[in-house]
Structures are given as C-alpha cells and as structure tokens.
Amino acid sequence: MIHFSKVLLFSLLPTLGLYAAVSPKLIQNIEDAAKRSFLDPKLVQAVVAVESNFDSKATSHKGAMGLMQVMPETADYCDVHEPHHAVNNLMGACECLRKLINRYQGNLQLALAAYNAGPSNVERYKGIPPFKETRNYVKRILRKYSELKNRSSR
C-alpha cells in the first residue's frame, strides 16, 4: 500500500495495469459493511474492485449501480434504496452476498456466480453457469481476493 496525500492507492487492476485511488473512509465503510454481514472485508474489497473500481457513481451498460453494482430489480430485495450512496449500497449488497453464501453452504464460487448471474441460473445449471462473463467474473473476484489476503499477510 502506498499512501499519497490522504488517498490510499490500493487496488492494482491487472486488466488495466492501473491503480484506483481509494479514500481511507471508503475502506472503512467497506470494512464496516463486511463485518456487519459477517464477511471478510478483503472479499468485499475484491468485489468492489472488480464491480466498480471503487466508483460509487458507476452504472453498467446493463443498469447495475454503485460500488457493488446492484441491479434495479434486486435493489429492493437487497434493501438498497440509494444505489449510488456508498454506505447504503455496501450494507445492502453485503447482506445479499451473505445470504447467497449461506444459501450455497459457504461455497464462495457458487455465491459469486449467483451474485453475478442470479441464483436461478446457478440452480438451472447446478453450478456455475456456462456464461463466459460469469465464469470470468468468479475467477477475477477470487484472484483479487487472494491477492488482497496475501498482501495483508506480508
């Protein structure tokens, strides 16, 4: 980690080779939301890095919004009423991720696949759906999660 003028240069994005500037306050918000939902903060950081590159105003071409890219149809289920509000997005999306991890008895790969493609697709294919986007998504999250865990153990 490199500290620069109250901004934490935190996330090396392997696909772009760029650093994302992340405020210490946002890192604290991620940690708080993760702990509230009994998630590893490093996992949530990995999801946020891959989903939005730490941009709370991010909106995908499919309409997913905020740090953890919540889709409009799942925002109510996740209790995300202000998807571009960092704390609301994190708290609601972390609860959804926790529910998915519980649903798949701790199988993080299936939970992440369901977070990306929806639980109905995980059920239909009895595992990670054969969608290239979803398979790449799960790999990217797990790779980033591993990097973050390894970085903190040094």
Query: Nearest CA to 118 among 46, 48, 64, 41?
Result: 64
- The whole-number mean pLDDT for each consecutive block of 10 residues of the chain, a chain of 154 residues, reads 36 41 93 98 98 96 96 88 96 97 98 97 98 98 97 74
Instruction: Please name the fold of domain 27-152.
Output: Lysozyme (1.10.530)
Q: Taking a C-beta distance cutoff of 8 angstroms, is the pair 90, 70 a contact?
A: no
Write down the pTM of the prediction.
0.85
The answer to whether 109 and 128 have CB atoms below 8 angstroms apart is yes
Domain boundaries, the chain: 27-152
Q: What is the pLDDT of residue 86?
A: 97
Q: Annotated catalytic sites, by residue?
A: 51
Residue 154 is predicted with a pLDDT of: 63
